[in-house]
Structure 1
Amino acid sequence: MDQQEPSRTRTFSWEDPTIALRQGKNMSGFEYLKAIQAGELPPPPISPLLDMQITEVKEGRVTFALEPAEYQYNPLGSVHGGVLASLLDSSLGCAVQSLLPAGTGYTTIELKINYVRAVTHTTGMIYSEGTVIHMGGRIATAEARATDKAGKLYAHATTTCLIMRPERSKPSS
């Protein structure tokens, strides 16, 4: 029996990286992130969901910004820690992605966050700048800081990412 990929219903328009690769859009991680930042490719669905966007892409460093809002609140009356975790994880992972060649993926295998102070809708824009610390053949590490416009620290994080390089085809005998 021939198995097909299940179809998905889309509520956001975005450039699914697996489809883009199948269509020959062989972009490096840096090129892909720059295209999203420039609006040439739509952002992944998590970005409009949390109202966050890429503000800067450099090789090994990516910054995201998020405007805190009440719809992101937890029961304690501040922005849910998961929102900040998503912001930090995005800048961390994308910093790693910015150094990857075309056809190479990554996934977060560890994320450590220290929350320093609460974020509310009155905090103003929060920026998360992720920077690669180490880029190896299979493992990458990065660090990020979530700050406001004045540089006040709200959280900081580190990550370990698994690099998923394409398998090389073996010569036939």
Structure 2
Amino acid sequence: MDLTQQWNDFLIDATEEEREIASLYLDSLKRKKAGKNGTHIGALMGITSVFHEPGTLTMTIPNTEILQNSLDILHGGLTATLLDSAMGTLAFRLLPEDKAAVTTEMKINYVAKGVGNEFKCVANVIHKGSKLLVMEGRVFRDDQTLIAHATGSFFIIPKKV
């Protein structure tokens, strides 16, 4: 069965909620294809980023059905993904072109439930060494309530050419 037929078969008896979620998936594929996001997970989460100098990045995601857990709040694992993405993106940006950064450790404290229309993660540099970067990230819901705080260590490695 080809992809078009699979989609048509799905849509025949899909609920309105299932159609909305399918639309979110398709929109994420379009964002990735258009280069608006560098990864499929970033596109699926709807990540947008703004770099601030020196050493700060803000990453924002909209709250969608895809991101919610069974309690209708932002899934803790996706909160962790947002934190890791923001801190890692900032770490990578601070390095020379021949270097990359990979997460070696991350500690997260969840302090409030993830509800609202969008979530903003602010990442900052704590330490930039020659082999290790230490970062901090904070996730806020749209009423400015802190929902999670993290620190992360990123090992500096040679970039694949």
Specify if TM > 0.5.
Answer: yes
Residue matched to 1:159? 152
1:62 to partner: Cα distance: 1.1
Question: Residue 91 in 1 paired to residue 86 in 2?
Answer: yes
AA aligned to 1:140 is L
Preserved contact between residue 114 and residue 141 of structure 2 (Cα < 8 Å): no
Give unmatched runs, 5+ long, in structure 1: 1-10, 16-38, 168-173
SS class of match (1:118): coil
Preserved contact between residue 59 and residue 99 of structure 1 (Cα < 8 Å): no
Q: 2:132 aligns with which of 110, 115, 139?
A: 139
Q: Determine what percentage of the aligned residue pairs are the same residue.
A: 29
Note the aligned Cα RMSD (angstroms).
2.1
Give unmatched runs, 5+ long, in structure 2: 1-28
Distance (whole Å) between structure 2 residues aligned to residue 74 and residue 85 of structure 1: 13
1:150 to partner: Cα distance: 4.0
Count residues with an aligned counterpart.
130
Equivalent runs, 1:1-173 vs 2, <5 Å: 12-13=32-33, 42-120=37-115, 123-165=116-158
1:97 to partner: Cα distance: 1.4
Residue matched to 1:20? none
AA aligned to 2:133 is A
Structure 2 length-normalised TM: 0.72
CA displacement 1:92-113 (0-9 Å, x = unmatched): 1112112101111110010111
CA displacement 1:49-75 (0-9 Å, x = unmatched): 111111334342111001112222222
Structure 1 length-normalised TM: 0.67
Runs of 4+ more than 4 Å apart: none
